[in-house]
Amino acid sequence: MLRRTTSAAAGAALAAALAAGAAAEAGALVLAPFAPADDAAAAAVVRLQLPAGEEGAYAECTGTAVGARWVLTARHCVEESPVAAGAVLIGQGADVTVARVNDWALAPAGDLALVHVTSDLGVAAVPVSGAALAEGDQVLGYGWSSLGQGALGRLPRTGLTVRDTGEQADYGGDLAYLTKSDFPASLQEGDSGGPILAGGELVGVLSMGVSFTPPIPPELTGLYVHAAVSTQLDWIRSVLATDPAGPAPDAPGVPGAPGGSGSAVFPMPLPGLDAIAGSFGSLGSDRLLPAR
């Protein structure tokens, strides 16, 4: 789910900016460029199809191969699934392979989860960084949402800038980053769990979208919350050292999973906080509204 953070204080100012046309062209990730051929990390950005708890349906998220059989994604993508099952799709265009999910692990803090598959992913794992980001840092973000350009079978990529850092109250007060996408690109439902990379290393995972009151969605604000990975590096390493055995459970609603034949897809909604102050107490509305 891409969760939505709401800020009442900034609503009037942002509404005025929208009325003036400042964000009129902001749109979905469909407006982002595709990852170039020389982007070595792009091959490790994968699609997840997960049980949605509804007959004949599945949810989709994005993730990153961080081990031979492990994918890092957002905790909220998996924590409400009825069973640790599903499929991971690797590759672009017609060159797509499928790995079956048989287990996952939830981070002790932070919106992070590691998903295990029963066969090697067949791509080079992206290194997980132990370094924290700072305000002003530039990163690259990816997402496979079927609502955006990913529906064409190629992976979109956008630049983002770190606008602030803070504690993510919903997930144990762990470190997270407030980010802003390069205009006009924006992330959306189904991009949840997608990585942000700095220097070719994974530094964060898409967790939330920032909206304003009156309701202005993240697709227009271009603001997001990414869960940091640096604070959970020891946990990540400990999980990657394991290789859970056992077959992949049936997941009837997931096309790529055993017993799967579902056709209805629900891109995981991008969720939100009740108020920015709940997680980023130092963040003022003046820091949310510079021109995109």
Domain ranges of the chain: 2-287
What's residue 185's pLDDT? Answer: 73
Helix, strand, coil percentages, rounded to 5, for the chain:
15, 35, 45
Fold of 2-287: Thrombin, subunit H (2.40.10)
pLDDT higher at 3 or 188: 188
Identify each DSSP E strand in the chain by its residue range: 2-7, 45-51, 57-65, 70-73, 87-92, 95-106, 113-117, 138-142, 157-168, 174-181, 195-198, 201-212, 223-228, 264-267, 270-271
User: What percent of the chain has a predicted confidence (pLDDT) above 90?
Assistant: 45
User: What percent of the chain has a predicted confidence (pLDDT) above 70?
Assistant: 68
Mean of the per-residue pLDDT values for the chain? 77
pLDDT at 8 over 50: no
pLDDT at 115 over 90: yes
The model's pLDDT over 131-177, given as tens digits with 9 standing for 90+, comes to: 999 999 999 999 987 665 555 667 888 999 999 999 988 889 999 99
pLDDT, mean of residues 31-35: 62
What's residue 211's pLDDT? Answer: 77
Kind plus residue range of the DSSP H or E element containing 78: helix 75-78
For residue 15, give the DSSP letter. H
Distance CA 287, CA 267 (A): 30
For residue 57, give the DSSP letter. E
For residue 108, give the DSSP letter. S
The model's pLDDT over 38-83, given as tens digits with 9 standing for 90+, comes to: 788 989 999 999 987 666 678 889 999 999 999 999 999 999 888 8
Distance CA 292, CA 290 (A): 6
pLDDT, mean of residues 185-204: 90
Distance CA 89, CA 47 (A): 5
Residue 193 gets the label, from left (phi > 0), alpha (psi -120 to 50) or beta, of left
The model's pLDDT over 219-240, given as tens digits with 9 standing for 90+, comes to: 677 889 999 999 999 999 999 9
Kind plus residue range of the DSSP H or E element containing 220: helix 218-221
